[in-house]
Amino acid sequence: TFTGGREIEAEVADTPEKLLFCLAFREGVPPNSGMLYIFETSDRYRMRTKGFKIPVDMIWVDESRHVVHMVEGADPCSQDPCPLYGPPPEKARYVIQTLAGFIKLAGLVPGIELKFTLRL
């Protein structure tokens, strides 16, 4: 849940396949859902959309769970060289990929807080 009440239910990228392929090869993503990447350490991570079939929004979140960077409407890429998105201006621990349009719909801005609970 972001400050302001907008919620997202994210699948955790907790397998090597999910970390490698992200949302690639998926025909769609339900509204208010996406993929959450939890990195072992904070850093200035880059993301890409190789193999994606849909445009996505990307949200980088720091250790204190505040948004530090966003990319709206990253287009799918079918072959290399695919663009890299990021790095964020500050280190991030988490990245969320969701259906394009979520950032605008939710009114997200850098600095907004994200509250979440992991359900394993």
Residues 93-104 have a mean pLDDT of 94
106: enclosing H helix or E strand: helix 102-106
What's the pLDDT at 44?
Answer: 98
The CATH fold of domain 9-103: Jelly Rolls (2.60.120)
pLDDT tens, residue by residue, 25-59: 667 777 888 889 999 999 999 999 998 899 999 99
CB atoms within 10 A of CB 36: 22
